[in-house]
Amino acid sequence: MASSLKSQRSLFIKEKAKELGFMSCGISQAGFLEEEAPRLEQWIKESRHGKMSYMERNFDKRLDPTLLVPGAKSVVSLSFNYFPSEEQKEGVPKISKYAYGEDYHFVVKDRLFELLNSIRAEIGEVDGRCFVDSAPVLDKAWAMKSGIGWLGKHSNILSKGAGSFFFLAELI
């Protein structure tokens, strides 16, 4: 594909993502996460995943999105702000900021589907799947690879001007 066509498509995707309320959008080539493989293997070997036994499953799929979505060419990484505009009321049980309001899985996934449909309308037939904590995808690795953030000391992805108050999602 010509470089300018690829750039135009990337720009379209990023602009559409912004229209849909995503904070940032980065695109990287789908493929095996070679640098992550030994770290993930060691992390599991040391039982750092605690009782989250699902982390032991689908090792290969965690490292290679083309096994999740055969024929995948790109991983579109997105961030979605969850910092609430209002503070919690005094005297009520405190809950995490990300848990205010509607379940983020539905909110973000609906927008991902809208983005995928917009891509199809603009580019043509494009296969893809949307992910928000719903599959063995290494969100943080893809976020860093796409340039939407970096790993902080607290092991969360940070973004300049936004901190870490955002969800990560992927369109593969």
Six token digits for residue 150: 């970096």
166-171 and 74-81 as β-strands: parallel, antiparallel, unpaired? antiparallel
Residue 144 has a CB neighbour count (10 Å cut-off) of 19
Which long-range contacts does 102-106 make (Cβ < 8 Å, 24+ apart)? 104/80, 104/132, 104/167, 105/132, 105/133, 105/134
The string of DSSP codes covering 119-134 is: HHHHHS-----EESSS
Q: Quick check: is 103 catalytic?
A: no
> Of the listed 110, 127, 133, 139, which one is catalytic?
133
Catalytic residues, by residue number, are 133
